[in-house]
Amino acid sequence: MRVLIVDRCIQSTIDISNYLSDSNIELDFAYHGISALELIIKNEYDILILDACITKLDALSLSKKLRQQLFSSMPIIVLSKQTELAFKVQCFEAGVDDVVAKPCAPQELYHRILAMAKRGPLRGIGQQKIADLSVDYNAATITRGTRKIKLHQMQMKIIKVLAQHYPNTVSREVLEQEIWSGVLPDSSPLRTHIYRLRQNIKNQLDRDIISTVYAKGYKIA
C-alpha cells in the first residue's frame, strides 16, 4: 500500500514515519498542496492524508480538484484541530472521506489507514460523462450505449487528459507533459499511441471520439 502524507510540520511526518517503519505501508511526503498535487499526478497512491493547514493549495481546494477535475477516487483523510461540525461538512462536501482530530496518535492513524484501505475507492467518483460516452477511470473503460471497451494504461492516460480539458483542444506539448510527468522519452511515441487508441475505439464503438485540430492538437469530439 502506498500513502501520501501532506503536512507542513516536519516533526509530525517524522513521528508517523517512525511508527509505520515496520508496516507494509510505503510513505511519501509533501509539505504543501502544490507539491502534493505534482506527486499525485506523477504517482499512484492508495490513500491521501492531508493536514488541514497546508499552504499554497489548501486541503479543501486540493480535495475538490482531485474529485472534480482529476476524477480521483482515492480515499482522503484530513487531520485538523478544527472539530466544529461546519468544518467537517465543508470537508465532506469537498470530497474528503474522513476528518480526524489533531493531535492524532500514529497508532490511531495507522488503523484508520487500514480501515480506509479495506473500504476501497469511492464508487462513482472516478466516472465522467462526455456526450454519449461514459468514461470509468477506475475500471479503465469507455462505454457507448451497450458497448464497452477496456483500455490499457497509456490509452487511459491520454483519454484522461483530453477529458479533463473537454471541450477544449489540448496541444501535443501539454499532452506529453501531463502523460509523462515532464520526463519525456527520447523519441515521443504520442502519435503512435493516439493512432492505436483511435483505431481501438473506432473498431469497437463505431465512432472516432478523438479529433485532430490542425496546428493546435487534439480534442474529444
Q: Which domains does the chain have, with CATH numbers?
A: 2-119 (3.40.50.2300), 127-220 (1.10.10.10)
Q: At what angle do helices 59-68 and 33-42 cross, to 10 degrees?
A: 30
pLDDT over 90 (residue 106): no
What's the pLDDT score for residue 122?
Answer: 54
What is the C-alpha to C-alpha distance for residues 78 and 96, in angstroms, rounded to an integer? 7
Rounded to whole angstroms, the Cα distance separating 215 from 212 reads 9
For residue 111, give the C-alpha cell.
488503523
Q: What is the pLDDT of residue 54?
A: 93
Q: From the DSSP assignment, how many helices (H) and strands (E) are in the chain? A: 8, 11
Q: What is the mean pLDDT of the chain?
A: 86
pLDDT band at residue 90, thresholds of 50, 70 and 90? very high
pLDDT at 116: 83
Q: What's the average model confidence in pLDDT over 11-31?
A: 87
Least confidently predicted of 119-133, 145-159, 177-191:
119-133
Predicted TM-score of the model (pTM): 0.63
Which pLDDT belongs to residue 47?
Answer: 92
159 neighbors 130 (Cβ within 8 angstroms): no
Contacts 24+ apart (CB under 8 A), 93-99: 94/60, 94/61, 94/63, 94/64, 94/67, 95/63, 95/64, 95/66, 95/67, 95/68, 95/125, 96/50, 96/59, 96/60, 96/63, 97/122
Instruction: Judge whether 59 and 33 are in contact, CB under 8 Å.
Output: yes
